Amino acid sequence: MGFIDDIKNGLPGLKLAIPASWRVQEEQERRAVLIDNDHRVGWHIVHAPWRADLRPENFADHRRDLERHARFSFEQQYQQIQLQPQPGQTQPPARPPVRTSDPEFNPLIQAEYITIAGQPALLTLRRVAYEPVMEAVVGNILIPLATGILDITAFQHTQQTGYRETNLLNHALQKYPGEGPQKLAKRLGQAHFDDPSNDPQFPQHPLTCVRTALRWLLALPKDQLDITSAAPELPTPGAEIELPSVGIAIRVPPRYAAVPDGVLPVPIGVSLLSRVILEGGDEPQMLDVRQMAGVTLSAEGRPDKLMQLLQKQIQEWQQQGGSQIEVHTEAVELPQDPAKVAEGARVALAVQVSLTLGGVRTHTVVRWICDHDGRVFRIGVATPPFIPINEAAADADAVLRSFRRLPPKKSGGAWLTSDLRLAPAKRAEQASTPAS
């Protein structure tokens, strides 16, 4: 049994009756690509360990980030497409500017929170390419589960672009004969050409195919599409949560959700929280909180010693291939505990880092804290390139303001578990159960 069989049996937390007519193009441990000739789309299914917070009160901010993500990926796709010379020509044809150079163009066609089997999910529909040589449309359904998130993507593309818009514009010109085509097209806007009511006229258009496929999927009965392991209830917004592995408690900024200990291979003393934006296959915005193992700073010269820890971190980034590293630091005032100040002052350092890693410009915000007893903690927010660094800084500062040490606990038998191993365990259980 592999990942596709797991999906059919509901082992990752969602059950989908994948039709026998779908052709498997690729299958990995937690990823599958299938071809659906009935709906003229491809399907990409990914199971990722990230956690997601889809509470309705956060949708406005989430949509803002969805639009940023859609614009960024659209521009990345534009850069990747290389035009070839036409027969008899030595140079490729002239290429129009990327459509996002027009501020009124939005690659994000639709974004809304929906429910599947009574559980929240995210539905998005967007263009990833839109020019004479290529139009590509992608629809995502992202579903939080007890074991992470499942992202079901439908995609379609064509090289015959513009025929939907041209046909609809010609009809509109007959209705409004006094307006020129460019002026009328601008007045109608992209939403007119993308309106679902126009889909029946263009059954093979990528937008029609993807939208129809998603509608079919969401209309499946419960015995064919169901959630078998729902995501646990999220903490009350603004509530303090304890991170026992780090030894602190914090208040979580909006839309971050804690990744349970043991799910990802991180060092002891590290807790991770993820803010999923659009796709399960993408790295989300990550908030990591850690206690630096084996580090205790003496009272004298603590600010300088924090700077030395930062320099060590920069060297590690360089060893990982980081380049063009820009670092900005600033001391942060923290309240002092009169009962503990004799041990040494609490000091903190605010750091903003921009670097190029793997060819991508990445931003990281870090808050270093040395507590009265010399123990060192680190709060980090890693952002995708399209998220402003000042917003990441606001998240880090919110955690810093809520920082509270937990009373020390007696050590016991340490154990780790990973819900990423649940599916193989259930497969083994099924295999050992005799058929009735």
Residue 360: the pLDDT is 80
- Say whether 46 sits in a helix, a strand or coil: strand
Q: Which of 200, 227, 254 is the last residue of a domain?
A: 227
Residues 262, 114 share a domain: no
Answer yes or no: is 288 within a domain: yes
State yes or no: pLDDT of 189 exceeds 70: yes
Residues 273, 174 share a domain: no
Q: Summarize the confidence of residues 120-145 as an average pLDDT.
A: 96
Q: Are 363 and 265 in contact (CB under 8 A)?
A: no
Residue 10: the pLDDT is 97
Percent of the chain with pLDDT over 90: 76
Residues 172, 215 share a domain: yes
25-to-3, 34, 36, 164 alpha-carbon distances in Å: 13, 5, 10, 29
Q: Which of 169, 198, 227 is the last residue of a domain?
A: 227
> Which phi-psi region, left, alpha or beta, contains residue 341 (left: φ > 0; alpha: ψ -120 to 50)?
alpha
Q: Are 97 and 131 in contact (CB under 8 A)?
A: no
What mean pLDDT is reported for the chain?
Answer: 91
φ and ψ at residue 414, rounded to 5 degrees: -75, 145
Q: Which of 178, 195, 227 is the last residue of a domain?
A: 227
Q: What is the pLDDT of residues 8-34, one digit of tens each?
A: 999 999 999 999 999 999 999 999 999
More confident position, 357 or 390:
390
Residue 385: the pLDDT is 87
128 is written with which tokens?
């990833």
Closest to 240 measured CA to CA, from 253, 258, 252, 257: 252
Residue 411: the pLDDT is 54
CA distance 362 to 322: 10
Q: Summarize the confidence of residues 404-430 as an average pLDDT.
A: 53
- CATH number, domain of 338, equals 3.40.1000.10
Residue 431: the pLDDT is 41
State yes or no: pLDDT of 231 exceeds 70: yes
Residues 401, 336 share a domain: yes
Answer yes or no: is 411 within a domain: no
Burial class of 83 by CB neighbour count within 10 A (0 to 12, 13 to 18, 19+):
middle
Residue 210: the pLDDT is 98
Terminal Cα-to-Cα distance of the chain (whole angstroms):
20
Residue 435: the pLDDT is 43
CA distance 236 to 238: 6
Match 């009350």 to its residue by tokens: 236
State yes or no: pLDDT of 103 exceeds 80: yes
194 is written with which tokens?
């993308």
Answer yes or no: is 31 within a domain: yes
Closest to 286 measured CA to CA, from 266, 303, 302, 262: 266
What DSSP assignment string belongs to 347-400? EEEEEEEEEEETTEEEEEEEEEEE-TTSEEEEEEEEE-TTS-HHHHHHHHHHHH
Residues 255, 218 share a domain: no
Residues 310, 193 share a domain: no
- Helix or strand run (H / E) with residue 403: none
- CATH number, domain of 197, equals 3.40.1000
Q: Summarize the confidence of residues 41-61 as an average pLDDT.
A: 97
φ and ψ at residue 210, rounded to 5 degrees: -70, -45
State yes or no: pLDDT of 416 exceeds 60: no
Residues 271, 221 share a domain: no
221-to-16, 113, 225, 228, 431 alpha-carbon distances in Å: 10, 20, 6, 14, 27
Number of domains forming the structure of the chain: 2
Q: What is the pLDDT of residues 310-334, one digit of tens each?
A: 999 899 989 989 899 999 999 999 9
Q: Which residues contact 238 (CB under 8 A, 6 or more apart)?
A: 251
Answer yes or no: is 344 within a domain: yes
Answer yes or no: is 252 within a domain: yes
State yes or no: pLDDT of 164 exceeds 80: yes
Residues 319, 206 share a domain: no
Percent of the chain with pLDDT over 70: 94
- Helix or strand run (H / E) with residue 266: none
Q: Summarize the confidence of residues 358-374 as an average pLDDT.
A: 91
State yes or no: pLDDT of 357 exceeds 80: yes
One-letter amino acid identity for 406?
Answer: L
Residue 434: the pLDDT is 43
State yes or no: pLDDT of 414 exceeds 70: no
Answer yes or no: is 414 within a domain: no
Residues 50, 132 share a domain: yes
Q: Summarize the confidence of residues 257-268 as an average pLDDT.
A: 92
Q: What is the pLDDT of residues 143-155, one digit of tens each?
A: 999 999 999 999 9
| pTM score | 0.88
Read off the pLDDT band of 392 (50, 70, 90). Answer: very high
Q: Summarize the confidence of residues 252-273 as an average pLDDT.
A: 94
Residues 246, 136 share a domain: no
Question: What's the domain range around 314?
Answer: 240-405
Q: Summarize the confidence of residues 111-123 as an average pLDDT.
A: 97
Residues 325, 279 share a domain: yes
Residues 199, 137 share a domain: yes
